[in-house]
């Protein structure tokens, strides 16, 4: 036992075994060396290929992000994308590099960049007889443009002018000194909640105290399409701020006012004697409605303590403006051309501009049954194609008496068109659409007790995201407001939404209760979940629906819409 034990531990016999084992290891190692080397080499190669693919992906991402903002200008988008790819090491001009830039078939605002390196080398694979491999990476970038608002057509703010297709709202910009409580979120200089009852303004600071004030005013876009058949005339309806009627002057004291101007309901101050026994007539025009005499305060007249003053709705056949006090305000309308920096609207070249004072004359032509028109300028067929910016703002006059609202509208019509030249961008690809950019300031007004207005265009590419709506000062005197999504060519259905005011608790509903003017001077923030959203192919426009039990929808308000998320971002496409 000991021998065998000793034998087994015989120092002379051990090397034999060891040699035998060493030989075995050497043999196995020798046998495995090639695959080991191959595997090690492959690991190095795979690592290299991985890094190379990562570099290609990064370059494709950078290229798609840089190019997408130029859509729909595909030539420019491709040029910028390829330039950025080249600067990241993937030059389309190189023999082994292909940079393909195309517009996504699924969204006009999505750019696809495909970068291929056809001859990615290797350290081992090639030496073992392998060939250079090709590596490709794709990137999709999306550019979320501001949500078009207010109108799918080539006009916006024509009130009741278009018989049979009435918008029933005007665009509106209040004088700078009109308190924000009266509905203008971005052009009122200050916010004095007391002013809603007609009290004298307590202040109107030169530097705006309204934190939502926008120095640049409101912005709209006008689409000038490639291949347009003639010049686009940009016509402004009643751009000046002046309530006085155009001829014929409504006959004072007449119960039925005749005028060729559109008649409308207006909210204005009504003065009664303190005992309410008889009507106190203040010097100035008198209009009749429903058998009672109503007056408005003429220039220079201030509200007297002798009167009980309250707001009433009356029917007038004068221009659309509402002037509660004597002050005047100039308004400037400016048109800017498309340029090379599509993400920045502040640097576009000025095409034309006009400032309208109280008595600026209308141009004198009759259009849509009215003579209250001024043509801003034409966009000729040789002018730049793309999105023109129309900017409107008040002059910022700091007279406390400038209190009211300047209603206006715009039509962008082809000079060569027949009839009234109106068109609908949903069915007419060459239609020079006019629409608000991110915020519209409007005066909704109809004799009906229920009315729907075009709110915003939400394309199917926004499915799964969230739509954020903001309604400033909505619905005084009304009952309910609903947000309607498109269901068919011309049909809509209310959506559920979450809403809140300030730091209030969010609530979910499909019908916002606005009774008792609960949102006077307040901002209602609404969020709509677009999960599963799939609009009909021919209608991506949402509406806002008002119901007033009193029988007359009237609201001076500012609406905003945007899609939550980064305006330019990478995305996926299946």
Residues in the site for Ca ion, rule: CB under 5 A? 183, 238, 321, 339, 341, 344, 347-348, 406-408, 473, 476, 520, 555-557
Measured in whole angstroms, how far is the alpha carbon of residue 245 from the centre of its chain? Answer: 34
* Complex with Ca ion: residue 56 or 65, whichever CB lies closer: 65
Shortest distance, CB of residue 340 to Ca ion, whole angstroms?
7
Report how far residue 60's alpha carbon sits from residue 100's, in angstroms, rounded to the nearest whole number. 10
* Complex with Ca ion: residue 102 or 517, whichever CB lies closer: 517
Measured in whole angstroms, how far is the alpha carbon of residue 482 from the centre of its chain? Answer: 19
Shortest distance, CB of residue 120 to Ca ion, whole angstroms?
39
Count of other CB atoms within 10 angstroms of residue 556:
25
Q: Which two tokens stand for residue 443?
A: 């005066």
Report how far residue 177's alpha carbon sits from residue 210's, in angstroms, rounded to the nearest whole number. 11
* Complex with Ca ion: residue 321 or 461, whichever CB lies closer: 321
Query: 């039990």: which residue's tokens?
Result: 549
* Complex with Ca ion: residue 183 or 208, whichever CB lies closer: 183
Shortest distance, CB of residue 246 to Ca ion, whole angstroms?
11
Query: 């016999």: which residue's tokens?
Result: 13
First-to-final CA distance of the chain = 77
* Complex with Ca ion: residue 470 or 473, whichever CB lies closer: 473
Shortest distance, CB of residue 174 to Ca ion, whole angstroms?
11
Shortest distance, CB of residue 370 to Ca ion, whole angstroms?
12
CA atoms within 13 A on the CB side of 340: 3
* Complex with Ca ion: residue 133 or 395, whichever CB lies closer: 395
Over the Cα atoms of the chain, what is R_g?
34
Report how far residue 428's alpha carbon sits from residue 417's, in angstroms, rounded to the nearest whole number. 13
CB burial of residue 118 (10 Å; 0-12, 13-18, 19+): middle
* Complex with Ca ion: residue 275 or 347, whichever CB lies closer: 347
CA distances from 531 to 27, 140, 146, 185, 495 (A): 64, 21, 20, 30, 12
Of 115, 109, 68, 122, give the one whose Cα is nearest residue 87.
Answer: 115
* Complex with Ca ion: residue 242 or 270, whichever CB lies closer: 242
Shortest distance, CB of residue 244 to Ca ion, whole angstroms?
11
Shortest distance, CB of residue 452 to Ca ion, whole angstroms?
17
**Would you say 547 and 84 are in contact if contact means Cβ atoms under 8 Å apart?**
no
**Would you say 174 and 184 are in contact if contact means Cβ atoms under 8 Å apart?**
yes
* Complex with Ca ion: residue 339 or 438, whichever CB lies closer: 339
Of 265, 267, 260, 266, give the one whose Cα is nearest residue 245.
Answer: 260
* Complex with Ca ion: residue 116 or 195, whichever CB lies closer: 195
Shortest distance, CB of residue 182 to Ca ion, whole angstroms?
5
* Complex with Ca ion: residue 122 or 557, whichever CB lies closer: 557
Shortest distance, CB of residue 241 to Ca ion, whole angstroms?
6
Query: 């629906």: which residue's tokens?
Result: 545
Shortest distance, CB of residue 319 to Ca ion, whole angstroms?
6
**Maximum distance among all Cα pairs of the chain, rounded to whole angstroms:** 141
Shortest distance, CB of residue 384 to Ca ion, whole angstroms?
12
Report how far residue 343's alpha carbon sits from residue 148's, in angstroms, rounded to the nearest whole number. 15
Q: Which helix (H) or strand (E) holds 16?
A: helix 14-68
Shortest distance, CB of residue 526 to Ca ion, whole angstroms?
16
Shortest distance, CB of residue 196 to Ca ion, whole angstroms?
6
**Would you say 519 and 501 are in contact if contact means Cβ atoms under 8 Å apart?**
yes
Q: Which two tokens stand for residue 114?
A: 């495909």
Of 563, 549, 560, 562, give the one whose Cα is nearest residue 475.
Answer: 549
Shortest distance, CB of residue 372 to Ca ion, whole angstroms?
8
Alpha-carbon torsion, ordered 396, 398, 400, 402, to 10 deg: -30
CA atoms within 13 A on the CB side of 194: 5
Shortest distance, CB of residue 295 to Ca ion, whole angstroms?
21
Q: In the beta sheet, which residues pair with residue 333?
A: 354, 392
* Complex with Ca ion: residue 339 or 424, whichever CB lies closer: 339
**Would you say 329 and 395 are in contact if contact means Cβ atoms under 8 Å apart?**
yes
Secondary structure class of 150 (helix, strand, coil) = coil
* Complex with Ca ion: residue 401 or 445, whichever CB lies closer: 445
Strand runs labelled E in 381-449: 386-394, 404-414, 434-437, 439-446
Q: In this structure, are strands 350-356 and 404-414 parallel, antiparallel, or unpaired?
A: unpaired
* Complex with Ca ion: residue 347 or 572, whichever CB lies closer: 347
* Complex with Ca ion: residue 85 or 314, whichever CB lies closer: 314
């Amino acid at each position: 036992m000991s021998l065998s034990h000793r034998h087994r531990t015989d120092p002379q016999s051990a090397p034999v075994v060891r040699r035998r084992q060493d030989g075995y290891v050497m043999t196995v190692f020798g046998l495995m060396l090639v695959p080991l080397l191959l595997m090690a080499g492959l690991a190095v190669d795979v690592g290299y290929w991985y890094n190379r693919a990562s570099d290609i992906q990064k370059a494709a991402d950078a290229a798609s992000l840089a190019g997408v903002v130029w859509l729909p200008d595909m030539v420019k988008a491709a040029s910028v994308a390829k330039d950025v790819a080249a600067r990241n090491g993937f030059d389309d001009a190189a023999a082994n590099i292909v940079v393909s830039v195309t517009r996504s078939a699924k969204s006009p605002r999505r750019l696809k960049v495909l970068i291929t390196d056809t001859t990615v080398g290797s350290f081992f694979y090639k030496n073992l007889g392998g060939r250079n491999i090709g590596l490709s990476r794709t990137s999709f970038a999306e550019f979320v443009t501001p949500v078009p608002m207010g109108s799918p057509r080539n006009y916006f703010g024509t009130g009741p002018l278009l018989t049979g297709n009435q918008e029933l709202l005007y665009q509106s910009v209040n004088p700078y000194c009109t308190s924000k409580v009266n509905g203008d979120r971005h052009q009122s200089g200050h916010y004095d909640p007391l002013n809603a009852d007609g009290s004298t303004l307590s202040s109107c600071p030169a530097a705006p105290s309204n934190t939502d004030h926008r120095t640049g005013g409101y912005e709209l876009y006008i689409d000038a399409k490639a291949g347009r058949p003639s010049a686009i005339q940009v016509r402004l309806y009643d751009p000046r701020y002046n309530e006085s009627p155009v001829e014929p002057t409504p006959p004072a004291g007449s119960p039925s006012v005749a005028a060729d101007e559109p008649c409308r309901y207006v909210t204005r101050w009504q003065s009664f004697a303190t005992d309410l026994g008889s009507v106190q007539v203040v010097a100035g025009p008198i209009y009749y409605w429903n058998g009672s005499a109503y007056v408005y305060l003429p220039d220079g007249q201030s509200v007297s303590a002798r009167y009980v003053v309250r707001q009433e709705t009356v029917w007038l056949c004068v221009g659309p403006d509402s002037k509660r006090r004597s002050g005047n305000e100039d308004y400037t309308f400016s048109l800017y051309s498309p340029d090379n920096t599509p993400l920045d609207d502040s640097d576009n070249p000025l095409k034309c501009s006009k400032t309208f004072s109280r008595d600026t004359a209308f141009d004198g032509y009759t259009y849509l049954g009215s003579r209250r028109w001024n043509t801003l300028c034409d966009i000729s067929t040789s002018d730049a194609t793309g999105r023109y910016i129309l900017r409107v703002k008040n002059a910022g006059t700091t007279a406390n008496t400038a209190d009211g609202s300047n209603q206006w509208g715009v039509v962008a019509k082809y000079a060569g068109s027949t009839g009234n030249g109106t068109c609908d961008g949903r069915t007419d690809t060459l239609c020079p659409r006019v629409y608000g950019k991110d915020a519209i300031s409007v005066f909704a007004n109809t004799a009906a007790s229920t009315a729907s207005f075009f709110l915003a265009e939400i394309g199917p590419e926004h499915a799964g995201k969230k739509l954020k709506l903001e309604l400033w000062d909505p619905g005084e005197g009304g009952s309910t407001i609903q947000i309607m999504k498109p269901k068919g060519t011309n049909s809509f259905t209310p959506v559920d939404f979450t809403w809140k005011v300030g730091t209030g608790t969010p609530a979910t509903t499909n019908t916002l209760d606005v009774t008792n003017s609960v949102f006077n001077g307040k901002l209602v923030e609404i969020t709509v979940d677009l999960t599963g959203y799939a609009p009909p192919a021919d209608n991506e426009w949402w509406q806002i629906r008002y119901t007033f039990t009193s029988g007359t929808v009237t609201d001076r308000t500012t609406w905003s819409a945007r899609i939550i998320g980064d305006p330019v971002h990478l995305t996926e496409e299946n």
